[in-house]
Structure 1
Amino acid sequence: MINWKNLDELTSYGELRKTKPVDLARVMTGDQGAARVANYQIPMGAGLVYNFAAKAVDDDILAALEKLAGEAQLSEKFEDLYNGDVVNTGEKRLVLHHLTRGQLGKDVIADGVNKRAFYEEQQKRIADFAGQVHAGKIANGAGEKFTTVVQIGIGGSDLGPRAMYIALENWAKKTGNFKMEAKFISNVDPDDASAVLDAIDVAHALFILVSKSGTTLETLTNQSFVMDALKKRGLDPAKHMIAVTSETSPLAKSSDYLAAFFMDDYIGGRYSSTSAVGGAVLSLAFGPDVFARFLAGAHEEDVLAAGTDVRKNPAMMDALIGFYERSVLGYPATAVLPYSQALSRFPAHLQQLDMESNGKSVNRFGEPLSYVTGPVIFGEPGTNGQHSFYQLLHQGTDIVPLQFVGFRKSQLENDVVIQGSTSQQKLCANVAAQIVAFACGKQNENLNKNFKGGRPSSIIIGDQLTPESLGALLAHFENKVMFQGFLWNVNSFDQEGVQLGKVLAKAVLAHETDGALTAYSKLLGI
């Protein structure tokens, strides 16, 4: 039987708090540090490895975390989730994004439909559509091929798919898998849509409108903006647009679209990159086979996350250590630092994934919590971040745990030797140096030059960023966030905090305001 208990009701949490803190600078020095690098790691999907040697944990703390994972029933709760239990208590919904990329447990029947079969059907429909677009069988009004695809969406309809596209764009060009350029319009700021429209050949552009409900204000506003631009160029918008929406939305059977592909309420926006939300744009940009490889990598990582042995479950171990840093050591933030330019927008996606999921102050039953929950997430690709906010990370008053991502090879592999080493070797050297510098520090009598060390980090290492490794990386963080939500006993799958601003914005536009809201509206010229 599953017991959803608050953290402070778990005996093992009290025991964890009594464990002796680790002197990270000491254990990461010399042979002891080298031994940790070899031993404190777990294989991930698609050839990736999660290495947590530079985290402030030891065997005693790991044993306490394992005990906590058992008492908190992390494996059992995940099993209930992928078998179709109503885990999203706030909205009384199933949580099924894992089913978009494979079957982990039993068949899930919802609304009289086998959901795995439903998601596979949508993927096949998208693949068939993309194939016809690439072959020129589906073309613009003049019978000419589409050369650009533009996704119109916001939040999870933008951040994840955009990050995934950017991650694979150069790889696809290098490997002959690049079919169409993709652009994204998300912000309701008209400068966003205008900039995209000015940068593309609109007559050869195919637009994807993404809105589950078909009523998202920002997305519909941008759709109207795009439709107006098409009409001004003498083009029929209905021959340039497709929709990704729910079967019950007003967009589902509209004549305004060439086709509609479906998602459902069981997949939250921030978890939707492996659904039709990401599938349509990625299949058009790179081809359905590349999208299938991306899904395969995600499923491989999901299978590991479903394992019950914490020492062989990278997402669960990452979640437990991150939980320890937040809830026991009291660190308020986590920096995500990918040493790969292709992952330049990945931290932005993780900001939404983590902070929208676990930024809660009540438990899954709506009761106030007496302890902290999710951390602040931020990040930039290395080495750019080193010349930006690393000063605070090295010598600031707060300790900020770090999550590095690095690859042995670049995607393009067209490197050159400069001063005895390649650019990729220089990049990797920076990763290694930063991990040790953060952990061990460097003593100096001049306090301005003194580095205390003790700054914990982990690294996910792979050979190269490919569709499979990208899928595994995405699924790893999705599952990490899920496990941490279980530990804090929050509902990681609703986002009530997003709604209030939307409601008030509608009131402003309808001029149904008073007080400060009216004053700010006048100040902004509304």
Structure 2
Amino acid sequence: MEFRDFSAYAAVGRLAALAKAPHDLTAAAGLTAQRIGAMKASCCGFDLLYATQRVTPEVVDALQELADEAGLVAACAAMQQGAVLNRIEGYASENRQVLHTACRDVFAEPPLVPAATAKARRELDKLRIFLDELADGTVTNAQGQPFTTMVQVGIGGSDLGPRALYLALKAYALPGRAAQFIANVDPDDTAEVLAGLDLSRTLFNVVSKSGSTLETLTNEQLVRARLAQEGLDPARHLMAVTGEGSPMDDPGTYLRSFYMEDYVGGRYSATSMVGLVTLGFALGFEAVMAILQGAHEVDRAALEPDIRANVPLLLALLGIWNHNFLGHATVAVLPYSQALSRFPAHLQQCDMESNGKSVTRHGKAVGWQTGPVVWGEPGTNGQHAFYQLIHQGTEVVPVEFIGFRYSQYGLDLEVAGTSSQQKLIANMLAQSLALALGKRDDNPARCFPGNRPNSVLIADRLTPRTMGALLAIYEHRIAFQGFCWNINSFDQEGVQLGKVLATRLLDLLSGRMVSAESTTPEESMLRQAGIE
């Protein structure tokens, strides 16, 4: 796959010219019923309403030209077919395939990468057998009682995606099953989770691809110590998800082990065993397969060349329009669903760790903006927190709203003629319109400038299948943007320096590294922080 610099595309010049006079949403005919009806794309149960973006049909045509010129769909196809895309030409790099999509290509015959999907099927079979053994009483605690809780011990991609999906789908949890998560190396995080558990009926799922993640191994030792204090055998309560052959791949130490492959990046690993073991325990195997089905459908839909019929590609290009051509530095992802309370946090990692890069795939400094700052919280809570800034602040923040027409639990009633779910969605749509249209007032403090670009992504209900689809929509949006910017979205070199320096500080604290002169920055920082 051959990539070119973003600035080399002819469509970039055309878009830059169009950006000098972007569509005025506040004009008399800036947001008509005809425009709202025309600017709608659909994919795998989701509708994307984007009339409230500052684009015209001419801009969308130019974005299509950019997608075609940059070969974005071809790059997505190459990724799904196993091309080695995790690399920097001419420099040391991970040099790997990028095959999180193979984890959900289990429905296709033949799959795009048979060897990778065969491994995914093998792990799914292992998971199904394990879940069956839990259900029929083959696997119990020492007293013959069923396990009721699984605690996932991991950090980064081994926590954020799985936690977001579990919270999103708690409404579908099996009776008597629950999941919790330990991520932070802060011992108070572990202590708080352990304090609320019946440890005798708890499984701990320790997740680390390398088997050497410092925070995760530290928390595992805290868990092991606590189990021992309670007179419980850790080997009956701890499980592992790790790379085959890693230091954690030890059948005598863990009740069960599941494998993750090095071509599945941590932040893209929620649909691998990294997420599916805990999700399977809490939700059941049928829900796991529904998550994979939804993601798989989007994987295939992402190969549609027409951006007006490809929701993840259109989202990616609208983001590029806002970021590179209109100059907006951040994007807020605002789900109008309490169940998606941690989904923005997952996207922060997935997007910012992927596209927070300043070097091209050819090892040169980029000459254009790459990944934006991604943040967000659920509505309607956010309306009473930070919406003041996005409506009237000096910083224009593009918004991506996510909502559902129906609630998960169906526990609702009418108050003043409308249900709570109707109020929730009405608030979301009202915010979209208010950001776009603004309002004039003789009192300047009550003026809303409008022209705040946003879009609405809406589906019927948040289910395992739609959650899988939503996850994959954003995974592909992120990858499409990285391809367009000519950066490697699949490494994370930026997290390594801090790890190295943390190890050096810990060596100082443990006495393994003593300097003849206490003048190093590390020693000085420890001393001034009062840490000994």
Q: TM-score, normalised by structure 1?
A: 0.95
Q: Does 1:196 align with 2:176?
A: no
Give the 3 Å change call, closer, same or farther, for CA 17–359 of structure 1 in structure 2.
Answer: same
Per-residue CA distance 1:378-398 (angstroms, 9 max, x = gap)? 100000100111011001111
User: Offset of 1:30 from its aligned partner?
Assistant: 6.2
User: Offset of 1:451 from its aligned partner?
Assistant: 0.5
Q: Secondary structure at the match of 1:60?
A: helix
Match of 1:10 in 2: 9
Match of 2:90 in 1: none
Deviates more, 1:238-247 or 1:16-25: 16-25
Contact 2:24 2:30 in 1 (8 A): no
Match of 1:187 in 2: 184
CA distance in 1, matches of 2:194, 2:26: 56
Q: Does 1:518 align with 2:518?
A: no
User: Offset of 1:446 from its aligned partner?
Assistant: 1.3
Q: Does 1:42 align with 2:54?
A: no
User: Offset of 1:250 from its aligned partner?
Assistant: 1.3
CA distance in 1, matches of 2:175, 2:385: 33
CA distance in 1, matches of 2:425, 2:178: 30
CA distance in 1, matches of 2:110, 2:361: 25
Match of 1:134 in 2: 135
CA distance in 2, matches of 1:378, 1:4: 29
Match of 1:339 in 2: 336
Match of 2:26 in 1: 26
User: Offset of 1:524 from its aligned partner?
Assistant: 4.4
Match of 1:414 in 2: 411
User: Offset of 1:167 from its aligned partner?
Assistant: 0.3
Match of 2:267 in 1: 270
Deviates more, 1:439-448 or 1:29-38: 29-38
CA distance in 2, matches of 1:31, 1:157: 45
| Structure 2 residue ranges without an equivalent (≥5) | 88-92
State how 1:161-240 maps to structure 2 within 5 Å.
Answer: 161-170=162-171, 172-173=172-173, 177-178=174-175, 180-240=177-237
CA distance in 1, matches of 2:486, 2:169: 35
1:134 partner letter: A
2:7 partner letter: D
User: Offset of 1:242 from its aligned partner?
Assistant: 0.8
Match of 2:117 in 1: 116
User: Offset of 1:515 from its aligned partner?
Assistant: 2.6
CA distance in 2, matches of 1:345, 1:36: 33
Per-residue CA distance 1:218-254 (angstroms, 9 max, x = gap)? 0000000000000000000010011000102011134
User: Offset of 1:447 from its aligned partner?
Assistant: 1.1
User: Offset of 1:32 from its aligned partner?
Assistant: 4.6
Give the 3 Å change call, closer, same or farther, for CA 454–31 of structure 1 in structure 2.
Answer: closer
**Alignment partner for residue 445 of structure 1, among 442, 445, 451?**
442
CA distance in 1, matches of 2:450, 2:30: 18
Q: Does 1:97 align with 2:95?
A: no
Q: Does 1:321 align with 2:322?
A: no
User: Offset of 1:3 from its aligned partner?
Assistant: 2.6
Contact 2:26 2:450 in 1 (8 A): no
User: Offset of 1:128 from its aligned partner?
Assistant: 1.1
Contact 1:271 1:353 in 2 (8 A): yes
Q: Secondary structure at the match of 1:210?
A: strand
2:122 partner letter: E
CA distance in 1, matches of 2:411, 2:453: 33
Give the 3 Å change call, closer, same or farther, for CA 178–275 of structure 1 in structure 2.
Answer: farther
Q: TM-score, normalised by structure 2?
A: 0.94
Q: Secondary structure at the match of 1:348?
A: helix
Give the 3 Å change call, closer, same or farther, for CA 127–24 of structure 1 in structure 2.
Answer: farther
**Alignment partner for residue 64 of structure 1, among 45, 62, 65?**
62
| Structure 1 residue ranges without an equivalent (≥5) | none
Give the 3 Å change call, closer, same or farther, for CA 481–524 of structure 1 in structure 2.
Answer: farther
Match of 1:405 in 2: 402
State how 1:369-380 maps to structure 2 within 5 Å.
Answer: 369-380=366-377
Q: Secondary structure at the match of 1:24?
A: coil
User: Offset of 1:23 from its aligned partner?
Assistant: 3.2
Q: Secondary structure at the match of 1:510?
A: helix
Contact 1:108 1:114 in 2 (8 A): no
Contact 1:48 1:460 in 2 (8 A): yes
Contact 1:24 1:440 in 2 (8 A): no
Give the 3 Å change call, closer, same or farther, for CA 60–178 of structure 1 in structure 2.
Answer: farther
How many positions carry a matched residue from both structures? Answer: 516
2:17 partner letter: K
Q: Does 1:488 align with 2:493?
A: no
Match of 1:297 in 2: 294
Match of 1:360 in 2: 357
Give the 3 Å change call, closer, same or farther, for CA 31–448 of structure 1 in structure 2.
Answer: closer
Contact 1:134 1:179 in 2 (8 A): no
Q: Secondary structure at the match of 1:18?
A: helix
Per-residue CA distance 1:396-433 (angstroms, 9 max, x = gap)? 11111000001111111111212222111111111111
Q: Does 1:506 align with 2:516?
A: no
CA distance in 1, matches of 2:130, 2:188: 31
Give the 3 Å change call, closer, same or farther, for CA 31–19 of structure 1 in structure 2.
Answer: closer
Contact 1:24 1:55 in 2 (8 A): no
Match of 2:348 in 1: 351
CA distance in 2, matches of 1:75, 1:25: 30
User: Offset of 1:134 from its aligned partner?
Assistant: 2.5
Contact 2:105 2:111 in 1 (8 A): no
2:531 partner letter: G
Q: Secondary structure at the match of 2:335?
A: strand
State the 4+ residue runs in structure 1 displaced beyond 4 angstroms. 29-32, 103-109
The sequence identity of aligned pairs, in percent, is 45
Per-residue CA distance 1:51-76 (angstroms, 9 max, x = gap)? 21111111110111000111100011
Contact 1:404 1:457 in 2 (8 A): yes
